[in-house]
Amino acid sequence: MTKKSKKKKTSWKSEVSSWIVCIVITLLLTWLITNFVIINANIPSGSMENTIMTNDKLIALRTAYWFHDPERGDIIIFEYPDDEQEWYIKRVIALPGETIEIKDGKVYINGSDTPLNEPYLKEKPVGDFGPYTVPKDSYFVMGDNRNSSNDARDWYTHYVTRDEILGKAWFRYHPSFGWIE
């Protein structure tokens, strides 16, 4: 065997080895990012219309609540309280310890005379609900398309606990680009 052919064999092995290392590192980073940093979500229903439309694809940040709690108005992805194998996306309406009541479709927090300002709603909501007091470490969530949303008003377990929250909706990338608010 000549020096030249030995050098080719060594460089071929080196090349294959470097590709394998790159692929393994890429797969590991992808796994880490998708399990600890972001959620890549496809929206299957119209419960959040017109804020988020059916078949939108979006990114949610798993890191959003590492250092602070969800706030009223945040759009969150969470494990559905009545079946944690399913994931839902809804808007936070009432916070831990607050009392929520819905009269004629309008949301009242802690017995206020003024309904919650909700400019994001698709249409004028109808119906009554409550009053209910949100337990400690839990949140009351509803869809923006209130009249067509399966949300906390309808569930056996009316609240999403803090540990069921997976992330905060952040960015839509299909069919259009934009921040989610």
Residues acting as catalytic residues: 47, 90
177's CB contacts (< 8 A; 6+ apart) are 171
* Integer Cα distance of 24 and 31 in angstroms: 11
| Residues 6+ away with beta carbon under 8 Å from 78 | 87, 88, 89, 90, 141, 160, 164, 165, 166
Q: Is 77 exposed, middle or buried (0-12, 13-18, 19+ CB in 10 A)?
A: buried
